[in-house]
Amino acid sequence: SSPDDAVPVTAIAMKLLDIRLKQSGAIIESAIGEFSASGRQELALLRGGGTLELFRIDEGQTKLVSRLETRSVLRCLATVRLTGDKRDVLAVGADGGAISVFDFEGGKAKVLHCMTFGKTGCRRGTPGQYLASDPKGRAIMISAVEKRKLVYVLNRDATGKPTIASPLEAHRTRTLTFATVGLDNGYDNPIFATLELQYPDTEDSVRESVDDVEKQLAYYELDLGLNHVSRRWARSVHRSAFCMAAVPGGADGPGGVLVGGEDWIEYLHESIAANNSDTADAQKKSNRIICTFPRRNLHPKEKGILITKITIHRQKKSKFFALAQNELGDVYKVDVRLDSSDKTKVIGLTVALLDVLPLANSLNVSKLGLLFVAAEFGDHHLYQFHRIDLPDAPTCTSEQSKEAYLQSNATSELAFYNTANASNIACTFSPTLLKNLRKIYTMDSAAPTTGIMVGELAGNEVSPQIYTLHGKGPLSSVRIMRHGAAVTELAVSDLPGVPGGIFTIADNSGEASDNGVKSDRFIVVSFADATLVLSVGETVEEVGKESGFEITSPTLACNALGNDGGMVQVHPSGVRHITQGKAKQWNCAGLKRIEYASANETQVLIALAGGQVIYFELNADSGNLTEVCTRDMGADVCCLDVGTLPPGKNRSLFAAVGCRDQTVRIVSLDPNGKLNQRSSTALDSRPHSVALQIMTVEQNDGNDGRNDTILTIGLDDGSSLRADVDPVTGSIGTSPTRRFLGARPVSVSRVRLESSSSTLLLSSRPWISRLDSTSGKHIMAPLSYVPLDHGCSFNSDVVQDGIVATAGKTLRILSIDTAGMDGGEDEAFNINKVGLRYTPRQMTLLATGTSAADRKVVLVVVESDYNEYGYEEKQQMGFDFTGEGKEDKKAGGDGMDMDEDSDEEQDIKMADDEEEKEEDEDKETRETAIRGPYPKVAGCWGSCVRLLDPSNNCKSLECIELNRNEAALCCSSVRFHSRGGEPLLAVGTVTGMTMHPLQQTESHVALYRVLNGERLQLVHKTKVDDGPVLSLAHFQGRLLVGIGKTLRLYEMGKRQLLRKCELRGFPTMIKNLQTAGDRAFCGDMLQSVQIVRYDATANRLVLVANDPTPRPITAQELLDWNTIAVGDKFGNVSILRLPRGAESASAVDLTGQRALWESSRDDHTPKLEVLCNYHVGEVVTNMTRASLVAGGAESLIYVTVTGRIGALVPFTSRDDVEFYTELESHIRADAPRPTGRDPQAYRSYYAPVKHVVDGDLCGAFNLLSFTQQNKIADKVDRSIGEIMKKLEDTRNALL
């Protein structure tokens, strides 16, 4: 067939649903203010991926108040306090060509204004990059990178409603803006300061050199009377000026701005006279108030250090200080010294070192003396000021700079303030642990995530773990993520046999009720022929018959009864009521035996063999347990539950009874009702356990929450059902939510988490289900723990809201960490981190050992950092890795002398363990990552190859540091057939690589052998030419290597690798490489995917097909023989497929008989077709095809540079496709557009969205108002409950 017959693939289209598993962790910018209520300090965060979040700072930690998905690129924000208001509102600039103002009153985000002014997208001429607000809340300025600035006047109308006026223009042609800030000048006309540079007109006859163009600080004044903006004042500043902060003015201070640049911080204001040296004999004098800052002692003198962030904090009316951070992470306290007689006159600056912190996108100081650092990469931290006056810290003053200038020969002041002079004036210091701040809280962030691998590598767990590479430099780590809540094991003890059940009995004596705290008195463990009763006190001890229990037979149910210390025990031959040490017993008639039972504080329900159910109730007057009624259910009973007491009531109204005929029935417990059946539900499988419980949902209007009655059923087939029960009629909801939990029948029990009702479900892995009190959604997550057989809630003085459970022959007391289950849209994951030395570049799995017995899987990570010295070089230079100083070093010889505040500690020998423990805790709060010294020349790399053991929590087995300036960039596992198929590790390295221009001195491919599964041994190293080695892959028993623009196949030789064949002429560089059969899929750095085939007969590589669209590929994953998923650096995910018939004989000539000129024509190469297109909104750095549940369906899991983890799930039925497509289109029409961006336009940023449904948008259905939900449900022809269930089921199928 001819290539014209190639069948288009759109007929067999693929449909995907995008589901977010983990929220992006990166913070673009943050601001502090009082948004939801006056006096409450809150943080507003702009997250990567277009999420706006509000966190409350509460008791030294942050709690989520509100989250808003904007589906746009958020760029800047500013807090605005409107005149006469006690709360702040938030102005946000995004890519929607509009300015948005949000009000968070009561914690709910509401759009006050969304004023459109330009085109959508991040353009250099459309405002939206910078935002500045007038401190008195009268105006905001939004600016573009080039030319345009708009000022909006904010006011109130007659009714007191906030209004926003039409924009006033402050444009200036050919002007680039670097920063803007609103000046504080009291109630005078608002003034905005900008750092700008006007580049020369290219059509001018006289060309200016680039260095002659001066950067200026300009003041733009808004005249409120004339409603007009004018450029009021400008002054030239240092060419490297980068950031600004407004100094308090008006009645509170001098006004003006602090400008940070390379090596200098300067105070500028229009009141400072410019230097008019027109007269030749004028005495040399300095008019600038400018100051350098302390530098690190190992930093090269010729390298400048840029100030990246300045923030100013007001302490009292006229008292304030500034914090400035440089690009290495050093934070300085800047004091603006005022004239004692005239508080509006600045006489100098003092810059003192505060501490070394992670590099920040924002620094926010709260009124409570807390500092929030929104880190550029890695976790964000909340610090407490330990002290703010820094008498002994390294300090520089503006007087030193002024004196140095006056003594020099320099004629121009700006020319004098350069890097060389700054290094001579500045004092030096060695970075140490935190001295003046203490870390009190960490907000988790996985940005940047560069790699992902999914697999059950730990060796003893049910479901796979997710391994991700993330971080930069010393903050790098490998994260092991497990779906579910983390469990803390508090105690484990052995039992005499395998138990058949476990119960706890609460202390219901009068004293306990008075205290209001209910602790448990007994733990009761039931065995096949005995009962073990454990008394809970300061220790847990066994008690015998004195407890009053029948201990020679198993216990079916037991509970505290009444409020006078009574208990009830149900065993196969009777019901035993124990009060004050005396026992009364109701015995079964004849030979009948009790099979199942359930009890609460006032009611007992038992089921006899044959389906007879008997109900007992505690008589409030006599205190006796009396038989109320009996009923034959008509089928054998296999589980039952009497429910919990509703608040303020002394009787549960309903009980649930599960029968062997695969039904669960709700029966009435009304004393006159004779156990009447109220409703029933038919099941696919026999019920194994049931639980009825009352869960409380908070109401937004401040009333007491509503109580929902929830029926949870555990089935024999390993799944669970959850349904609502009408609290009045007892009818079961029509659309129960089903979820598959594991391979064992599910047992259900009630527990409490954080004082709210939850459900523990035990199958082949334990699960917890709870109601999120704020959103009303049920959150279900597995526990990262061994399978449990039985469990129930446990409370004591030591353990609050714990769980006591059995696994095999052991008894365990556990506490569940619910941090990941805070009710956000994300799944609960618990995370373990393993620190790395440099930025991780790639990871691969390597199987070691020949026989099955000694087979072991190890994880190899290659790490490298540019502009970094190697480990040994740093040691020789005397760099202190820990920042502890020499005194704290016990064994290490790489410490340095430094004036650390631990001199006194040296003399006192720590003998007491508690003191040592306190010291460890103190050290933890003082830890900070310290970047290594900056190299003097370009092309310096630090790099290592690390071996990790995934079966032992990714412990480092070995770390091989590479030689000077050699960097490992990629790695792969390879088996050479000519060498017996032994698994080897191939590592691609470059030496002395520089980025601008991109060149390197040498490239190598190194082969390593793994010895005993724990050490690496170098086999040999092969030098390659033609460019850097960026990708490696195992290919048909050989090694395929992408070297620059060349694809080369190697065989293993004794001394080095041997070239077999190659294909040259790729467009730019081969960044990704994957192989399948005789095909190689090569991801080019700029020109998308090329498919290459190896022809073994002719020993050559032939291009089969390429992609007509140029995509800068960052990640790729093979889906099948013809289909590949790719992610590009603009944030798009595309799925490409080879057309049918493209590889037939006529399309690709494998004989070599056709004329060369004909086959090399580009238009003759078959083209890949696009199946799906979707804009994620963040750069996808890696993707993998995997199932997140053992035995589940595969989906495409991707990670982004900001730390988001998402999954593209293929639809399996046409019904699902139609339902989701319809739901998405209706929600899209009604969805709010907080930043003026259309959701569909956002998902089609670079190419129209194709065959991918936005799961986030569909999930927004749960957040809509009831009327909107109803409207959409009518259009989709489903009920609201069915839509919610469908959304939940789709998500549950993935995890």
- Gap between the Cα atoms of 782 and 486, Å rounded: 9
Per-residue pLDDT for 10 more than 50?
no
Per-residue pLDDT for 125 more than 50?
yes
Mean pLDDT of 1268-1288: 91
What does the pLDDT read at residue 1013? 86
More confident residue, 589 or 97: 97
Per-residue pLDDT for 1 more than 50?
no
pLDDT digits 0-9 by tens, 1219-1246 = 999 999 999 998 889 999 999 999 999 9
Residue given tokens 């024509």 in the structure block: 1161
pLDDT band for 1146, please (50, 70, 90 cuts).
Answer: very low
Reference 501, options 578, 570, 557; nearest CA is 557
What does the pLDDT read at residue 1288? 84
More confident residue, 1251 or 284: 1251
Q: Which amino acid is at 549?
A: F
pLDDT band for 922, please (50, 70, 90 cuts).
Answer: confident
pLDDT digits 0-9 by tens, 448-497 = 999 999 999 988 787 899 999 999 999 999 999 988 888 889 999 999 99
Other beta carbons less than 10 A from residue 98's beta carbon = 24
Query: In sequence order, what are the beta bridge partners of 1201?
Result: none
Q: What is the mean pLDDT of the chain?
A: 88
User: Given strand 477-483, what is the order of strands in its sheet?
Assistant: 449-455, 465-470, 477-483, 829-835
Question: Mind spelling out the 3-state secondary structure of 77-97?
Answer: EEEECCCCCCCCEEEEEECCC
What does the pLDDT read at residue 92? 97
pLDDT band for 544, please (50, 70, 90 cuts).
Answer: confident
> Mean pLDDT: which of 339-343, 1091-1095, 1163-1167 is highest?
1091-1095
For 920, phi then psi, to 5°, come to -60, -45
For 915, phi then psi, to 5°, come to -65, -40
pLDDT band for 2, please (50, 70, 90 cuts).
Answer: very low
What does the pLDDT read at residue 580? 82
User: Given strand 1070-1076, what is the order of strands in its sheet?
Assistant: 1070-1076, 1079-1084, 1089-1095, 1100-1106
- Gap between the Cα atoms of 616 and 598, Å rounded: 11
What does the pLDDT read at residue 1293? 84
Radius of gyration of the chain from its Cα atoms, rounded to whole angstroms: 35
Say whether pTM exceeds 0.75: yes
Mean pLDDT of 179-195: 95
> 60 CB contacts (<8 Å, ≥6 apart)?
370, 382, 384, 440, 441
pLDDT digits 0-9 by tens, 98-122 = 999 999 998 899 999 999 999 999 9
Pairing between strand 810-817 and 486-494? antiparallel
Using CA atoms, how far residue 17 sits from 59, 1174, 1181, 1205, 1290, in Å, is 40, 10, 19, 14, 9
Residue given tokens 């022929």 in the structure block: 529
pLDDT band for 776, please (50, 70, 90 cuts).
Answer: low
Q: By percentage, how much of the chain surpasses pLDDT 70?
A: 91
Mean pLDDT of 441-449: 93
Mean pLDDT of 262-270: 94
pLDDT band for 203, please (50, 70, 90 cuts).
Answer: low
pLDDT digits 0-9 by tens, 660-706 = 999 999 999 987 777 899 999 999 999 999 999 988 776 555 556 67
